[in-house]
Structure 1
Amino acid sequence: MTGKILVSACLMGHAIRYDGRSKPLIHPAIDRWREEGRLVTICPEMSAGMVVPRPPAEIANGATGADVLAGTARVMEITGGDVTAEFRQAAENALALAQETGCQYALLIDGSPSCGSGFIYDGTFSGGRHAGHGVTAALLKQAGIEVYSDREIDILAARIAAAS
């Protein structure tokens, strides 16, 4: 089937976010895509061996996922731990799964240092945020996969309907 969608596991109700919670996305399109077999679920961080719960992490110094991929930025935990390697591995795992399963689209939770696609937090752990992509979202986009945030599900639904 064409038009498969890589989707953040937390949006599918899996309690795997850094704080041990989920952020289920309830929308008729999710139900329809599930029935059509379009959804491919992943938590990039868990795929890279990160545990739940885990300390919050942000991309340092107001940088973006593209900067992390370029080797010019780090992903840091609030505790001071450097988890850049884990986030890079998480992105590689997500891209490999998307390519293996034929995903043309990704529906990812916004704000995450992995999955953010509209905004990410600024690295100060103060709630400040800025426009940008997380590491996984940036790598998927670089590979030609269309990335949408959970707030853009209607846009994705329209895009898939137009492509059908």
Structure 2
Amino acid sequence: MTYKILVSACLMGHAVRYDGRAKPLAHPALERWRAEGRLVMICPEISAGMPVPRPPAEIERGASGEDVLSATARVLEITGGDVTAAFRKAAQNALRLAQETGCTHALLIDGSPSCGSGFIYDGSFRRARRHGNGVTAALLKRAGIQVFSDREIDRLEESLATPL
């Protein structure tokens, strides 16, 4: 079986991050998967209508994407703006796309309040990291999609070789 992979657009060189930049990931597996037509790209925030660039955002008070999904935490911009609804919509859009295209795996940029799956920032806007999931990563995991960070591409490659 050929598994499809939902991938953060910024990892594929698209300048969609909050700061207007990309964060391209160079790895032979990515090029092979692209050639095989296995990659489905999305920037969840762009899919929800958020602009580029946009103010940095973090999940408040050391909470996680799971907390945002359960409505016990918010996603706030450094300016104080509440972008929780946009991040929830972004996660729903990513999940819908993954399901519509048959993605069983996701490769997401770490650190993002949306896509982070190994770490996110703690809500202090001081670049303090903590273990946790962003909103999109949490929703994808909840739906049974295997989520990997950009630092785990070798693990993703191994997972793709193993039947689900």
Q: Structure 1 length as normaliser, TM-score?
A: 0.98
Deviation (angstroms), 1:153: 0.1
Paired amino acid for 1:15 = A
Deviation (angstroms), 1:10: 0.1
Specify the alignment match of 2:128 in structure 1. 128
**SS of residue matched to 1:163:** coil
**SS of residue matched to 2:58:** strand
Distance 2:62 2:56 in 1: 15
Specify the alignment match of 1:148 in structure 2. 148
Contact 1:90 1:136 in 2 (8 A): yes
Paired amino acid for 1:21 = R
Contact 1:74 1:82 in 2 (8 A): yes
Deviations 1:33-60 (A, max 9, x none): 0011100000000000000000000000
- Give structure 1 stretches of 5+ with no counterpart: none
Question: Stretches of 4+ moved more than 3 A in 1?
Answer: none
Deviation (angstroms), 1:129: 1.1
Distance 1:124 1:89 in 2: 23
Deviation (angstroms), 1:148: 0.2
How many residues align? The count is: 164
Q: Structure 2 length as normaliser, TM-score?
A: 0.98
Paired amino acid for 2:48 = A
Contact 1:17 1:52 in 2 (8 A): yes
Contact 1:120 1:131 in 2 (8 A): yes
Aligned Cα root-mean-square deviation (Å) = 1.0
Distance 2:32 2:13 in 1: 16
Specify the alignment match of 1:21 in structure 2. 21
After the TM superposition, which residues 8-157 of structure 1 pair with which residues of structure 2 at under 5 Å, given as runs? 8-157=8-157
- Give structure 2 stretches of 5+ with no counterpart: none
Deviations 1:67-116 (A, max 9, x none): 00000000000000000000000000000000000000000000000000
- Percent identity, aligned pairs only? 75
